Amino acid sequence: MDEARELASAGEPEGAIIQADEQTAGRGRFGNLWTSPHGNLYATVILRPQKPARIVAQLSFAVALALGDAIGRDDVTLKWPNDILAGGKKIAGILMEMNGGQGDTPPDFLLIGTGVNVAAGPPGSAQLGPDCDIAELRARYLENLDHWYTRWQTSGFADIRSAWLSRAHGIGQPITVRFSDRIAHGTFEGIDEHGNLILRDEGGAVRAVNSGAVHFGDGAGANA
């Protein structure tokens, strides 16, 4: 991500991809450490969407679809807002960072970082296995990303939202959302037309959540 930011700031065109064999300072959401041993796919794509910055976060769902389809397992589900699961275990994650832009002003550029557990992963995670060809996985992902990115630019978010919901993890299940200052419990009802998580709380009230660490099930913990 840091290398991609330097290149994008220097004018690297949209579509450039920066790949690492391993990382010594990988990061996830909220600055959390992302374990990055050799043998996995770590890549960042530079995009320059000419859309209002306020809707660019919708692309995280397009990326999830592209990556989930590239992984290609029958047990893949998509966990709000940025994880890919296989058999209920995390197999990939997405990190998006936007530079410039606000409100209706497009960003200068958008960095889309992805990490996929191919040959290794932390305890409790899923892996594709060492027989997976990383170059082929990357090619499938980029082809899929081009498809969904183009669709978002031409047709908006509705089709992406529908496709994402058809593969969503945990709809109708108990959910805990941990914010910086509080914890909310309820049921996961899906995502709205902006990509916000729809939470029905224990009193029956429905609220839209645009950020937070999410845990599915009855436990009080939360995954980033």
Residue type, 210: N
Residue 175 CB burial class (10 angstroms; 0-12, 13-18, ≥19): buried
Give the domain-ending residue among 165, 191, 207: 165
Confidence grade of residue 157 (pLDDT, cut at 50, 70, 90): very high
Whether residue 221 lies inside any domain: the answer is no
pLDDT value at residue 221:
41
pLDDT value at residue 224:
37
One domain, residues 184 and 158? no
Nearest C-alpha neighbor of 1 from the set 137, 94, 102, 116 = 94
Domain count for the chain:
2
Q: Angle 134-140-146 (CA atoms, 0-180°, nearest 5)?
A: 135
One domain, residues 69 and 130? yes
Whether residue 222 lies inside any domain: the answer is no
List, as one string, the DSSP characters of 75-109. TEEEETTTEEEETTEEEEEEEEEEES-BTTBPPSE
Whether residue 224 lies inside any domain: the answer is no
Whether residue 142 lies inside any domain: the answer is yes
One domain, residues 191 and 141? no
Whether residue 97 lies inside any domain: the answer is yes
One domain, residues 128 and 192? no
- What mean pLDDT is predicted for residues 23-47? 72
The domain of 81 spans: 2-165
- What mean pLDDT is predicted for residues 97-114? 96
One domain, residues 18 and 118? yes
One domain, residues 72 and 139? yes
Cα-Cα-Cα-Cα dihedral of 34, 35, 41, 47, to 10°? 20
Whether residue 21 lies inside any domain: the answer is yes
In the predicted structure, residue 84 carries a pLDDT above the cut 90: yes
Whether residue 14 lies inside any domain: the answer is yes
One domain, residues 145 and 210? no
26 compared with 66, residue with greater pLDDT = 66
- What mean pLDDT is predicted for residues 38-67? 95
One domain, residues 31 and 124? yes
CATH code, 157: 3.30.930.10
Whether residue 104 lies inside any domain: the answer is yes
Query: What's the pTM value of the predicted model, to 2 decimals?
Result: 0.89
For residue 203 the two structure tokens come to: 């009193």
One domain, residues 160 and 180? no
Residue type, 93: G
One domain, residues 89 and 189? no
